[in-house]
Amino acid sequence: MGSQWTKDKIYKKSVRDGYRARSAYKLIDINERFNIVRRSDNVVDLGAAPGSWLQVLRTMTEGQLLGVDLNPIVPMENVITVTGDFTAPDIQQKILELMPLVNVVVCDASPHLSGAKAYDQARVMALNEDALRFTEKLLKQGGNFVMKSFQGVDFNELVDLVKERFYSVRVIRATATRRGSTECYIIAKNFIGDADDDRKQISE
């Protein structure tokens, strides 16, 4: 592929280090700064293909990992992979059955962009809200959530929704984000949860 990004220094580093995508360094950066994932955590990765975040997560936790994406994820040891739309009820149910206890949800997903700014931003916000709603079903109380988004119309409203569900919420740019991009990450810690949900009360 003759992309301008083939000359990107971080892209070249990802090839040398054996990561499937340059986005691996974004998760490394986020975890170093915010301590999202602990050694015993079970983690679900929404929009996981090609699997670079799963590669990084394997070095961060000894817990169970699951990645889901519309595109097949090349298998890796000790990782459950699901091919399908994480917004679809049947896929969500499958994930809930496979992962009865989840400490962390990460989501680096974004829709295919058309170049029409307003249309693309609306689709990004819709996907973010879908990811947030599913995360509420997955996470135990006190769990953490990382989600990629793009600053623009309705972004502040999205952040407010996250703040209703987590005690600590930050918006940051990862160091590996390309210059000029509106890409950002919402870092949400300590999920408020539902005190009546026994599934989320399981001790670590």
**Where does residue 5 rank: exposed (0-12), middle (13-18), buried (19+ CB within 10 A)?**
exposed
- Asked if residue 124 is part of any domain, the answer here is yes
- 63 appears as a binding residue in the annotation: no
Cα separation, 86 vs 30, in Å, equals 23
- 85 appears as a binding residue in the annotation: yes
- Asked if residue 12 is part of any domain, the answer here is no
Whether residue 137 contacts residue 130, with contact meaning beta carbons closer than 8 Å, is answered with no
Known catalytic membership, residue 137: no
> What's the pTM value of the predicted model, to 2 decimals?
0.87
- Asked if residue 11 is part of any domain, the answer here is no
Chain position carrying tokens 């929009």? 47
- 5 appears as a binding residue in the annotation: no
- Asked if residue 145 is part of any domain, the answer here is yes
Boundaries of domain holding 62: 25-201
Q: How many CA atoms within 13 Å lie on the side-chain side of 197?
A: 15
Q: How many domains does the chain have?
A: 1
- Asked if residue 8 is part of any domain, the answer here is no
**Which residue of the set 26, 148, 189, 200 is catalytic?**
148
- Asked if residue 20 is part of any domain, the answer here is no
Per-residue model confidence as pLDDT tens digits over 150-165: 999 999 999 999 999 9
CATH (domain of 45): 3.40.50.150
110 phi and psi, to 5 degrees? -150, 150
- Asked if residue 14 is part of any domain, the answer here is no
Per-residue tens of pLDDT for the chain, all 204 residues = 344 444 466 555 555 555 546 788 899 999 999 999 999 999 999 999 999 999 999 999 999 999 999 999 999 999 999 999 999 999 999 999 999 999 999 999 988 888 888 999 999 999 999 999 999 999 999 999 999 999 999 999 999 999 999 999 999 988 767 777 889 999 999 999 875 555 544 443
For residue 201, is it left (φ>0), alpha (ψ between -120 and 50) or beta?
A: alpha
Cα separation, 180 vs 86, in Å, equals 29
- Asked if residue 128 is part of any domain, the answer here is yes
DSSP 145-163: EEEEEE-STTHHHHHHHHH
What Rg value do the Cα atoms of the chain yield, rounded? 16
